[in-house]
Amino acid sequence: MAASPRFSPQRPARRAYQQKPEKVRAWLDIEYPAIVARARDENAAVAWTDQCGLRSDTAPPGRSWAPNGATPVVRVNGKRLRVNVMSAIAFRGALWFSVFTGRFTAKVFITFLDRLARQAGRKVHVIADRHPVHRSKAVTAWLAANAHRIELHLMPGYSPELNPDEILNADIKRHVHPSHARSRDDLARETRRFLHRRQRQPDMVRSYFHAPHVRYTTREEMT
Q: What is the pLDDT of residue 57?
A: 76
Name the residue with higher pLDDT: 219 or 112: 112
Which of 175, 208, 198, 151 lies closest to 60, judged by CA?
Answer: 175
pLDDT at res. 17: 46
Q: What is the 3-state secondary structure (H, E, C) of 82-102?
A: EEEEEEEECCCCCEEEEEECC
Over range 180-190, report the average pLDDT.
92
pLDDT interval class at 73 (50, 70, 90): low
- Predicted local confidence at residue 91, as pLDDT: 95
* % of the chain with per-residue pLDDT over 70: 81
Region 188-213: mean pLDDT is 97
pLDDT at 162: 97
* Listed residue (86, 82, 80) closest to 52, CA to CA: 86
Residue 6 pLDDT grade (very low, low, confident, very high; cuts 50, 70, 90): confident
Asked if residue 84 lies in contact with residue 101, where contact means CB atoms within 8 angstroms, the answer is: yes
Whether 9 shows a pLDDT value over 70: the answer reads: no
What is the pLDDT, as a whole number, of residue 223?
45
pLDDT value at residue 181: 85
CB 193 within 8 A of CB 55: no
On the question of pLDDT at 185 being above 80, the answer is yes
**What pLDDT does 77 receive?**
52
Output the average pLDDT for the chain: 88
pTM assigned to the model? 0.85
pLDDT of 82-125, one tens digit each? 999 999 999 999 999 999 999 999 999 999 999 999 999 999 99
Q: Mind giving me the DSSP string for 130-193?
A: --GGGGSHHHHHHHHHTTTTEEEEEPPTT-GGG-THHHHHHHHHHH--GGG-SSHHHHHHHHHH
pLDDT at position 180, please?
Answer: 80
Name, of 10-19, 69-78, 158-167, 179-188, the range with top average pLDDT: 158-167
Q: What is the mean pLDDT of residues 188-205?
A: 97
